[in-house]
Structure 1
Amino acid sequence: MRNHIRTTALAATALLAALSLTACGGSDSANDGKAGAAAPAANATTTDTGKDAGGTKDAKETDSGTAQAPAENTSTTSKSSSAGSSSKKSSAGATGSGSKTPVTCTGSNTKVTVTKVSRPINHLLLTATNTGSVPCYAYHAPALRFDDAQAAFPVLRDSIPQAVVTLAPGQSAYASIGLFGESDGQDLHKSTHLGVYFTGKADQGSTGAPANLTLPAGTAWGDNGFVTYWQSEMSDALMY
């Protein structure tokens, strides 16, 4: 009986020991489970760090690229603006150099011609064309001298234009010559050459070189003839 009880006690002790070992094993397994769970957490942290680092790097690269692109565009725009500004300045300079102050028309910067017209009768037409590179003013009336006449030809004061005639390069001014009046009768002077003198703004004598012209054949003039002021239109000159 005593041996049975001892055996039973030993069996109980062994069972308790086994249960204890099992409990320890379960605890270790639980700990192992916790450790296994912790590992993904560590991996998750590493992944998060990688994402943060990568995301920050990508963000910086993106920000840097974005910042650089507008900077380059801005620089290009600025250069274009500068180029446009230079072009405008260049254009302005060209315009400034092209717009020169007008000078007085003379025989040196104009081509003067004389022609006979059918209407009105006994009239000649003077045409002065600006051959220079700048505008010129055709002041007042031309001073005329037929051959070696001692006095200048009379000027018709009624023909004064409203404004001074300004000739751009290539433009022309006109003046008509009434060769003689009704009272001249047969007292006419035949001439072959005509000196055309230009006057200045003050209308005191001639200025610059004259134009020396050959008159149409058979030209004769009288003391009561006249020459008009320079006109911008041929019809205005021939109306007198």
Structure 2
Amino acid sequence: MRTSRIRTAALAATTAALALATLTACGSSDGGDDAKGGAKRGGAVVSDKADGGTSGGSGSAEGATVDAAKGSGSSEGTTVGASKGNGSSGAGKGTSAGAGQGAKASSAGVRACDGQEISYSVVHRFAKQRGEHLLITATNADSKPCYVTSFPSVMLGDTVSVLPHSTKDNPGGGKALTLKPGGKVYAAVNLFTDSARTHTSSDLSIALQDHTGDTGPGVGQEAFDAKGVPSKFTWSTADVTNWNTAKPYNF
């Protein structure tokens, strides 16, 4: 009886071992199917527990991918987007939209300032001193950017001749200087009294020039001193510097 019980116990143990091996083999086979399914849903291995069966639909796929990606922060973000089916497409949409808008803005370019959007101020600096000049400040008062180039077209007082470009000016007048809304550029009218024949005035006319030298509409201005008082200036000859983003003779 004792021997029979040992044999019976041994047989039962053997049977249990075989059953366990069979179950293990089945579990391994199911894991392989899950790996294939996971690859189709963003490359993550989806477990039976996370998948919730084949009837889980898109919601179970999302939960499964998150569960499988817990081991890596970067993997989680990638696999969640892939499982949802709209993460990567959403990113693509955002990228293409941004690039398209940038390309459109770049291809359209910035328009040239026509003078209607520009406001001017003129300050008479270093009166009757060496380096005497009129500082012209042009401000873009529009809500859109535009650009200026070359130097302003200036007539002083009641004269009808446009002042020439300064021969001592720095090069670069051919560049287009973009003025954002509220942006400023500067130019200087150099005043010289090198002969007995002189002119005196506090008025001048300013207009913009384009790359071809064409001049837009002129705007009448009055020169003021540093205290905001109208200031008369005297000249026998004068010339103009290029537009610049920094104040000329700012010393």
Scaled to the shorter chain, the TM-score interval is 0.5 to 0.7
Contact 2:192/2:235 (8 A) holds in 1? yes
Q: 1:189 to 1:85 in 2, by over 3 A?
A: same
Q: Is the 8 A contact 1:102 1:137 kept in 2?
A: no
Q: Give 1:145's aligned amino acid.
A: M
| 1:70 corresponding residue in structure 2 | 45
After superposition, residues 132-171 of structure 1 pair within 5 angstroms as 132=142, 133-139=144-150, 141-159=151-169, 161-165=171-175, 166-169=177-180, 170-171=182-183
| Matches of 1:114 and 1:61, distance apart in 2 | 84
2:246 to 212, 218, 233: 233
Alpha-carbon deviation of 1:158? Answer: 3.4
Aligned sequence identity (%) = 18
- Listed as ranges, the matches of 1:1-80 within 5 Å are 47=16, 50-51=19-20, 53-67=22-36, 68=38, 69-70=44-45, 72=65, 75-78=79-82, 80=87
- Per-residue deviation, 1:97: 4.9
Query: When you count helix as a share of all residues, which structure comes out higher?
Result: 1
Distance 1:40 1:91 in 2: 74
- 3-state DSSP of counterpart to 1:174: strand
Q: Residues of 2 paired with 1:40 and 1:122: CA distance? A: 117
Work out which of the two has the higher radius of gyration on C-alpha atoms and give 1 or 2: 1
Kept in 1, the 8 Å contact 2:188–2:248? The answer is no
Partners of 1:112 and 1:234 in 2: how far apart?
A: 14
Task: State the Cα distance separating 1:131 from its structure 2 match.
Answer: 4.2
Structure 2 unaligned blocks of 5 or more: 39-43, 47-64, 70-77, 225-229
Q: Secondary structure at the match of 1:158?
A: coil
With the length of structure 1 as denominator, give the TM-score of the two structures: 0.61
Q: Do the aligned partners of residues 61 and 101 (structure 1) sit closer, same or farther apart at CA in structure 2, a change above 3 Å counting?
A: same
Number of aligned positions between the proteins: 201
The structure 1 residue matched to 2:215, chosen from 199, 206, 219, is 206
Could you say which residue in structure 2 is the equivalent of 1:9?
none
Residue 89 (1) aligns with residue 100 (2) = no
Asked if 2 retains the 8 angstrom alpha-carbon contact of 1:174 and 1:234, the reply is yes
Specify every segment of 5 or more residues in structure 1 that has no aligned partner in the other structure, as ranges.
Answer: 1-32
RMSD between aligned residues: 3.9
CA shift digits 1:161-214 (9 cap, x unpaired): 2353423415432221234422044x42434x32211111011x303x433322
Q: Indicate if the aligned counterparts of 1:142 and 1:230 stay in contact, CA closer than 8 A.
A: yes
Aligned to 2:195, which of 183, 188, 207? 183
Distance 1:88 1:120, change over 3 A: farther
Which residue of the partner structure matches residue 174 of structure 1? 186
Is the contact made by 1:142 and 1:199 (CA closer than 8 Å) also made in structure 2? yes
Partners of 2:31 and 2:158 in 1: CA distance: 95
| Equivalence for 2:237 | 224
Deviation at 1:83, TM superposition (A): 4.0
* Partner Cα separation in structure 1 for residue 101 and residue 161 of structure 2: 47
Contact kept? 1:103, 1:137, Cα under 8 Å: no
One-letter amino acid of the structure 2 residue matched with residue 164 of structure 1: G
